[in-house]
Amino acid sequence: MVLQHAGPFASRSDRNNTAIRTAFQPLYDTYKVDLVLSGHDHSYNRGYDGNKNSTVYAVSDSGPKFYEASSKDWQRAGATRVVTAAHTSTYQRVTVSQNTLTYQAVVGYKGPGSTTAKKVGQVLDQVIITKSGTTKTVR
């Protein structure tokens, strides 16, 4: 798992995180990183680059400052964004057991114009990453 401020995929329409992708994504691939958590863009987005069982990328917002969520930079990079929420702050829970990593984004605050029906305290998004030998499954 990697935690960084600005991630390889921006969730603001006016940002292009090509430099971060170029510098770090080869390392994530080489070392088979399961989960990359970042912030910086003040909206929630989660997705992957490659197939759905590759590295999971999550961008979150933990404060009252919000930007509209955009898939523009994800698309520019050929990545897939699968979950989004604007005007919604989250906190993350990560649980690790022997073969499983569970990631949850929990709604901490909803600002005016929040795009999720989830209530404060509810899980907005969840990913379970399981490894068995050389096989990795993301669901």
* Local confidence pLDDT in tens for the 139 residues of the chain: 999 999 999 988 899 999 999 999 999 999 999 999 999 989 999 999 999 999 999 999 988 899 999 999 999 999 999 999 999 999 999 999 999 999 999 999 999 999 999 999 999 999 999 999 989 999 9
The reported pLDDT for the residue numbered 63 is: 84
What's the pLDDT score for residue 2?
97
> Residue 114, class by beta-carbon neighbours within 10 Å (0-12 exposed, 13-18 middle, 19+ buried)?
middle
Any idea where the domains of the chain sit in the sequence?
2-138
Q: Are 46 and 127 in contact (CB under 8 A)?
A: yes
Q: Which fold has domain 2-138?
A: Purple Acid Phosphatase; chain A, domain 2 (3.60.21)
Coil, strand or helix: which one is 91?
A: strand
